[in-house]
Each structure stands twice: as C-alpha cells, then as structure tokens.
Amino acid sequence: MSIEEQYRTRAKELLSGGAVKMVIGYGKGSNAKRRRPIFISSADEVDRLVLDDACITNLSGYLVSEGLLSDEKRVAVFLRPEGIRAINILAAESQLDAEQIVIFGFDVAGNEIKALKGINVEEFSDVIDSIKEGAPEAAEEELFEKIEKMSPQERFSFWQEEFAKCIKCYACRQACPMCYCRRCIVDSNQPQWVNTSSHTLGNFEWNIVRAFHLSGRCVECGNCDRACPVNIPLRLINHRMAEEVLGAFDHFAGTSKTQEPVLASFKKDDSETFIL
Ligand code: SF4
Ligand code: SF4
C-alpha cells in the first residue's frame, strides 16, 4: 500500500471514530505540479487527499486559525519536518496545545515520499535532531554562497535591488506559520511604525523588521518566498539569521515544544554587559 493510501486509511479511521474533527492535508491543485490545502471533516472525503512530491507547503499555520482549536478537539495535519518544527515553536509560544495535534509526518527525497513514524510532536525529535546535526543547506545554495562572498556594500546593493521590487502585498507574512499575530505592527497607523508605501526606505524597514522578528523562529519552509509575487529570495535572509542564532546561542528553532524562544529568554551568566 502506498503512503498516500496508508494515510487516507488512517484519516478515515480517525474521522469516523471521532478521534479528530478535521484533517488538514493536500488536494489536487490547478495543475499536476500544484497542490492546495484541503480541510476534511468527513470520512467520506478522504479520497480527496493527495500525497506526492508536489506537497511542499507548510500547513502548520492553518492550526492557529482563530477558533479552530478552542473546542479542545483534536485536528490532524500533514507535515514535513519543517512543519513539525513549526508545531514545536507554536506550542512553545503558547499558540496551540500540541496535545490537540495529530501529525501525519512525511518527507520527500528526490521524488520519493517517506513516511515519518509518530503521531505526537515529541515522537519526531530524532528527525529534528538529525536535521540540526546535518547543518541544513540554504535553498538556492549557489546564490546564498554568492551573497556570502560579497562585500557589505555589494550585499547592501543586492538587497536594495531585491527589496525595490517589493509591492507590500504582505503575502510573505500571510503564508508564514510564525506570523500569527491577529494585528501586525505594519497594519497599525497610530503610530505608524513602518512606512506602508512601496519605496526603498519602507521596503527595507518591512523586510528587515520581519527578518529580525523571525530570528530563531524561522523553520525555512519556504512558504514566504513561494508566496512572494515578485520572487524576492526571502528565505535566504532567514537562513542567514538562523545560522547566526545557531552559532551565537546554539539555538535551532523548533527542537521541542518547551524550547525557550531565543529572543524572549536570557541567561544570568550571559557575557553581554547589558544583561544585569
Ligand atoms: S519566514 Fe518563510 S521560511 Fe521562515 S517559517 Fe516563515 S514562511 Fe517559512
Ligand atoms: S510577498 Fe514579496 S512583495 Fe509581498 S510584501 Fe512580502 S516581500 Fe514584498
């Protein structure tokens, strides 16, 4: 039986037995290489679930939709390792109760689908540890290396050019599981912290503020740069930040549901003088 069939069978059992109220998975998209999120709440619908190498979107962000988990019922969700890391972060930041989440874990190597063993988030700690040990590579490794070799001025010009394309649509924010605030600082206009118009200064403010906000939290799922209509390689900034955070604090985002957020914790013996 294929993994797709196994997971359909499991989804059917969970829904018909009332163990979960919903399964969030992938369904057919607008063409053979596109998949879209689907939300199944009846056992009769499980044949709509698809699992193949085109299932790349991190679906974890849907779990924090307003009210979804407020009745304390369980919800199942298809997740790759990045999505599982995201569950740990959302739990650590008190955005969801991990006990309510049933994971259909999978990974893709080439175009081979591999099932990940486990149901609850704790059961995937080995998978996450192995990603950390394997020093994840940046998507678009070649471009990342090229940017790394640039002088600060060249790098500034590179990002200036990229950010000049930004149209402030905020699709990157909407697609990111870590951008869950009901009201984002950029939507606030009293005071207006970040310039909303699409010009160099405002675009830098938005993208750099967002990168800092994601430091120690980004799981490099790529939802943001796939959503960006002008193809800014956003994940590269977040990958660079992740490397800094790993080097400076030995913090790899999403290793456990009790992991302290790196920007919201401190150690008394921190060598920085500003820590009292
Ligand atoms: S910033 Fe982008 S890559 Fe990182 S978690 Fe958010 S959507 Fe995923
Ligand atoms: S998705 Fe792209 S264009 Fe839209 S706000 Fe984000 S960086 Fe700018």
Task: State which ligand 1 atom lies nearest to the alpha carbon of 179.
Answer: 6
Report CA torsion sign: 156, 157, 161, 164.
positive
Q: Give the start-to-end residue ranges of the domains of the chain.
A: 3-133, 141-263
pLDDT of 138? 62
Q: Cβ-count burial of 22 within 10 angstroms (0-12 exposed, 13-18 middle, 19+ buried)? A: buried
Regarding the beta carbon of 213 and ligand 1, being less than 6 Å apart is answered: no
Q: How many CA atoms lie within 13 A of 50 on its CB side?
A: 17
**Which residue's CA is the closest to the ligand 1 atom numbered 7?**
176
For the Cβ of 46 lying below 6 angstroms from any atom of ligand 1, the answer is: no
Distance from Cα 229 to the centre of ligand 2, integer Å: 7
Whether 171 lines ligand 2, by a CB cut-off of 6 Å, is yes
Ligand 1 centre distance from Cα of residue 102 (Å): 22
Between the CA of 129 and the centroid of ligand 1 the distance, in Å, is 19
Average pLDDT, 10 consecutive residues per value, the chain (276 residues): 95 97 97 94 97 96 96 97 97 96 94 93 94 70 91 94 93 96 85 81 89 93 95 92 90 94 78 64
- 83 in contact with ligand 1, CB cutoff 6 A: no
pLDDT of residue 141: 83
Q: What distance in Å separates the CA atoms of residue 256 and residue 102, rounded to the nearest whole number?
A: 16
Residue 226 CB–ligand 2 contact under 6 Å: no
The phi-psi region of residue 250 (left if phi > 0; otherwise alpha if psi is between -120 and 50; otherwise beta) is left
What is the bridge-based pairing of β-strands 101-109 and 35-40? unpaired
Task: Please give the Cα distance from 98 to 63 (Å, whole number).
Answer: 10
230 within ligand 2 shell (Cβ under 6 A) = yes
